[in-house]
Structure 1
Amino acid sequence: MKATIERATLLKSLSHVQSVVERRNTIPILSNVLLEASADGTIRLMATDLDLQIVESVEAAIDQPGATTVSAHTLFDIARKLPEGSQVELAAADGKMQINAGRARFNLSTLPRDDFPVIAEGELPTKFELPAQTLRQIIDKTRFAISTEETRYYLNGIFLHVSDEAQPVLKAAATDGHRLARVTVARPDGAEGMPDVIVPRKCVGELRKLLDEVDGSVEVSLSATKIRFGLGSAVLTSKLIDGTFPDYSRVIPTGNDKMLKIDPRSFEEGVDRVATIATEKTRAVKMALERDKITLSVTSPENGTAAEEVPGDYVSEGFEIGFNARYLLDILGQIEGDTVEVHLADAAAPTLIRENDKSPALYVLMPMRV
């Protein structure tokens, strides 16, 4: 193959595909990116880790169609260091690839295109479109709660499912057993009858990066085992987590009768300040609720104590409850409005946090003993 491509175009595309490639691979070809130059003036770049695959098409001047595979991270580093505005010539033959740009010359080893694994997608019967903005919101408001425990692998992703309530909806949920985040949006046309799926954490991360460059809609196609996202010039395909997500609706409290209304920013800043002295291990913040007065405090055997009063709207009986400061800050960081509702029951029961009963996102946080 022989092609010429603008450095900026090559770099942008490689930045998308190379992040799928794992740094350490026992199978050498998985360290490579597949470059396919076709006569219609495009180069397809493809990378995979066998669970996740990304394909992106970019424009280029093609002198000789063909395909080869070359180290993804090396090619990305070369493109990054080339002078801005340069034209990059790529020529591959006989197990080598020559890269010329300006006065720079590189010669890299290649592996044959036929050895490159492709995720067979099979039939993806459910197809619908979601606005990129909605997909961004779903990811941002849930992914911090994805579990990182490998033993509970079925919690290592975002759970997507449809539900028929007053209106048909699509729900996205993530939990690590300590906190739960759920976003509800109107069910898109075509999503009816879709299987319940768990989208893995790595796929969620790569998808979120690509969404920053998409304005319109994203085409979503899925089966019970695979999901594909069409994002303009890029297509991301991933295997789904083969497991059963727990029935999380059971932990969403419905009878929490004590309500605190508070400004999320002053609440967040107060928690952040007193948590400065919390020990890494517990990170516990105690919240003492009295009428229209909330006292946040931390007691650390090594560091001392800290306390701060935060104004809030609270009229129920006073009590004390403890939370993991990091988890509380993660949730408060997602609240965009001027007030947040904290629905409490007692010091041992799960607490419900949301902007109001109309907001698409809700959070559940398990308390800690303090």
Structure 2
Amino acid sequence: MSLKVECQKEELAEALQLASTASRSNSPKFALKSLRLGAESGLITVLGCDGEMWVERDLACEVIESGGVLVDAKFITSLVSAMPSGQVALELLVEDGMRVQQGSAEYKVLSSDPQDFPEPPDFGGEGELTLKFSQLQDALDSVLYAVTTDPHRAILTGVQVSYDGATLKLVATDTHRLAVRTIAQEGMGSSLSVVIPDRALRAIRSLPVGADDDVTIRFGMGRLGVEAGGARVVAQMLSGAYPNWERVVPSEFSRTWQVERDQLIDSLKRAMIIASESANRVKFSGSGDSLVLTAKSEELGEAKEEIPMIADNGQIEVAFNGRYVLDCIQQIRGPGIRFELTESTRPGVIRPAEDGDDYFCVIMPMSLT
């Protein structure tokens, strides 16, 4: 084994950070918590893998000696990220691992044989989806916050992505809230319905791609693959049936509130200082042309915020998890927010006051007492 390269610190740190999104720091297998560095022909390739997802990044650098090595992902990423701007030299030593050097600073990193690392698998060409990278990022931001973190609900750790030739739909839920983003656009690719892991989508969202560049996601053999900006992501898709989320979306409502987005965000952030000590519960009360937000904590005290609103039959009090409401409304780009309600014990729908068919959230209520 051999390897000796010199790279710009910022570019190397970015490549390490991207590839390390696929590694597992708690894995008992050294390879799966490592990054594989391979250098040849003026490029260093950084590859991370957890057995289900592979993230790879190519980086132009000065290759003095070609070769490859495995190093701990968390350590090498943290080390290079903490270094000042300038050239960083990596050199595989005969017996002492890999040396990382910048100026007078020198570190030795334990290393292993890169042959132990699993290669990225092939995936077929059963379908594909192409859209502007900025459009993809915006759509992902609209739903990723609602993905569950509960590993026992594996199918809900991903986003359902479906396309029928005219409409792209992304759906995420943790059973307490639901986020749905719709993009009406023909010619984006093949009809499909898949569930993509949260981690894979976050890696794709972080690809070094220009906002106006097209990104194509290809599907096949139970996997997805993306190649763009000198980076590649390959990941297993989630298997199993995604829940019938449409049945939890209220088909009708009898009350509406319409408020100014920025005012609601500011008021809710302040109320959350108190609510964070009481399961994030915030009470929303419609009263005439005002929406009143209250939160209470036995340890800290009480909060009350009042903002103007336009209401239709808006006399109702309902409690929501304030964090869930914030997560939703911060993804709305327009100036107005619309709440659609029925009773204090029924789910509420939040959407933009204008063009509200493209994005909405459903949030389950909390107890008022």
- Give TM-score scaled by structure 1 length: 0.88
Match of 2:28 in 1: 26
Q: 1:254 to 1:3 in 2, by over 3 A?
A: same
Q: 1:119 to 1:278 in 2, by over 3 A?
A: same
Cα distance, 1:89 vs structure 2:
4.7
Given candidates 221, 237, 240, the residue that maps to 1:240 is: 237
CA separation in 1, counterparts of 2:355 and 2:147?
24
Given candidates 242, 251, 255, the residue that maps to 1:254 is: 251
The answer to whether the aligner puts 1:265 opposite 2:262 as a matched pair is yes
Match of 2:6 in 1: 5
What aligned pairs does 1:137-152 form with structure 2 within 5 A after superposition? 137-152=138-153
Tell me if structure 1 keeps the 8 A contact 2:209–2:229. Answer: no
The unaligned stretches of length 5 or more in structure 2 are: none
Match of 1:88 in 2: 89
Cα distance, 1:247 vs structure 2:
1.4
Match of 2:183 in 1: 185
What aligned pairs does 1:118-129 form with structure 2 within 5 A after superposition? 118-129=119-130
CA separation in 1, counterparts of 2:291 and 2:75?
54
CA separation in 2, counterparts of 1:272 and 1:33?
39
Match of 1:133 in 2: 134
Percent identical among aligned pairs is 23
Match of 1:309 in 2: 306
Superposed CA offset, 1:203-247 (max 9, x none)? 233333336766512221112621122231111111122222111
SS at match of 2:118: coil
Aligned residue type for 1:177: T
Tell me if structure 2 keeps the 8 A contact 1:56–1:235. Answer: yes
- Give TM-score scaled by structure 2 length: 0.88
Tell me if structure 1 keeps the 8 A contact 2:7–2:61. Answer: yes
CA separation in 2, counterparts of 1:308 and 1:98?
57
Aligned residue type for 1:324: N
The unaligned stretches of length 5 or more in structure 1 are: none
Cα distance, 1:75 vs structure 2:
3.0
CA separation in 2, counterparts of 1:48 and 1:162?
28
Q: Which moved more, 1:267-276 or 1:297-306?
A: 297-306
Cα distance, 1:187 vs structure 2:
4.5
CA separation in 1, counterparts of 2:190 and 2:174?
28
Tell me if structure 1 keeps the 8 A contact 2:8–2:61. Answer: no
Q: 1:312 to 1:69 in 2, by over 3 A?
A: same
Q: 1:36 to 1:322 in 2, by over 3 A?
A: same
CA separation in 2, counterparts of 1:108 and 1:304?
51
Task: Give the RMSD, CA atoms, in angstroms.
Answer: 2.6
Tell me if structure 1 keeps the 8 A contact 2:340–2:348. Answer: yes
The answer to whether the aligner puts 1:323 opposite 2:314 as a matched pair is no
Match of 1:74 in 2: 75
SS at match of 1:230: strand
CA separation in 2, counterparts of 1:299 and 1:43?
55
